[in-house]
Amino acid sequence: MKKFATLLLCFGAMLSLHAQDKPLYEEPWRPQYHFTPARNWMNDPNGLVYLDSTYHLFYQHNPFANQWGHMSWGHAVSNDLVHWKHLPVAIPEQQDYRIFSGSAVVDVNNTTGFRKGEGPPPMVAVFTAHQEGKNQSQSLAYSLDKGETWTVYDKNPVLDLGKRDFRDPKVSWYEPGGYWLMTVSQPIEKQISFFRSPDLKSWTHLSEFGPEGDTTGIWECPDLFRAPIEGQPGKYKWVIMQSPSPYMQYFIGEFDGTRFKSENKGRILRPDYGPDYYAAVTYNDLPSGMAPVSIGWVNNWRYAGDIPVKPWKSAMSMPRSLSVRQTKKGWVLISQPVYALKELELEKMVDRKDVGIFPFGMPQAGGSWHLTVEWSVGDSDRAQIRLAKGRVHETVVGYDAVRKEVFLDRSKADDFANSEYRKMGKWSIPMELEKGQLKLDIWYDQGIVEVYVNDGQAVLTAQVFPDEQDQELRIGSQRSRSPIRDLVFVPLRSAWK
């Protein structure tokens, strides 16, 4: 097994060093501030962990091809969650199983005993060992050099229920109880199971949560974490995020160390209401007082393998800082791009207050940019932003006051012919505005659109594949003339150059 893993890793390294005909990160639709692998397939973010001023991003990766397969853990690191350095494959596919999704922790107290003598604390990856059509169990690998090299634990698996579908362990330290807590998915049953352990090796069952909320798809990639309550310093709520394929949902409530109790009041709530956001999880071991930070996969399983990009496949979302807010309808999750992304901002091309009532347009708004628009939307208006617009194509984002909904329409965005993609062109979120006030923060990155509504109360993420000449931006109203109170357009530099 070890010989096979070594050969696999070496082959992956050879591929990474292979000369390319064209420079990387200059290809059509290649994002410039959303993380992408240098080449080949990527899906779920895995093992998000922070150690010694370094953010680690592991991810589901095929080192050999631009399609799903040979699942291994790719690896990248960053000091700011914006500029990333690619590292060699961390945990390659094994002879007997593939390395499916999971999490990573810093074992500060060496509860595993993996560290012998002096040195950094062990970094431990807890992942699903996948045997196709046979079994999924939870296994360990560990690093004694801060994530540079990895050893697969020789007594794996550490948790095996003898099931074909049992995956995606998110492990964290539960401080009130003084034990490791695993949140893991039972996909077919549409449940989340909780287990506890003193050492990451032996696990005791605690409870189940679900089925609840969206049960239309199998349940994957669960995450349980505490999020700060806006305006109440030192107060928190517990949040479960998970992925009923091919979308996501979250629950806000309380966790007592054994069971989670949802306070969603029958509502289905999503961390993202667009078509291309999946498997998001939060970082472990962030500095004390820092809000949770999540990263999600920007793609959709219904067409993921067909998106027209190469030599890479798929991107990660911008890292999002999370909190919770209490509204008239109950608790909601608030998502905001991490502040470090502002380091990429170039000189503002537009910065206007009290713009008034008139349409606004820019003929050259391609590439990567950030747009903020604040509107006073009339009761019968349809305020809209038409981006990546050309002679035929456009993506439209806005608010329909009659329907009382925020919308994203990519049905005319491009010529990508995949039938599932074409079915998923229009997206909306019911939302009543306070006194008609709407704020849209749109982050555009060579075809990835992330829309943050009213300071992150809702988010929509979508991929589009416009032609090179589709660069016009238009802002206006369709039914009446709603005044724009604030308008800022800022181009963004590449995080890779």
Q: Which residues are catalytically annotated?
A: 44
Is residue 239 within 8 Å of residue 250, measured between CB atoms? Answer: yes
Following DSSP, what letter does each residue of 137-169 receive, concatenated?
EEEEEEESSTTSS-EE-TT--SEEEEESS-EEE
Give the closest residue to 462 by CA, choosing from 342, 281, 300, 302: 300
Residue 110 backbone class (left: φ over 0; alpha: ψ -120 to 50; beta: rest): left
Consecutive H or E run containing 74: strand 72-78
Rounded to whole angstroms, the Cα distance separating 127 from 157 reads 10
Helix, coil or strand: residue 21: coil
**Close Cβ partners of 289 (under 8 Å, ≥ 6 residues apart):** none
Rounded to whole angstroms, the Cα distance separating 253 from 434 reads 26
Neighbours of 418 (CB within 10 A): 16
Rounded to whole angstroms, the Cα distance separating 38 from 279 reads 21
Neighbours of 199 (CB within 10 A): 16
Neighbours of 67 (CB within 10 A): 13
Rounded to whole angstroms, the Cα distance separating 254 from 241 reads 13
Rounded to whole angstroms, the Cα distance separating 387 from 442 reads 10
Give the closest residue to 32 by CA, choosing from 372, 370, 389: 370
Match 């592991």 to its residue by tokens.
58
For 25, 125, 493, 495, the CA distances from 31, given in Å and listed in that order, are: 8, 28, 11, 9
User: What is the amino acid identity at position 85?
Assistant: K
Is residue 397 within 8 Å of residue 438, measured between CB atoms? Answer: no
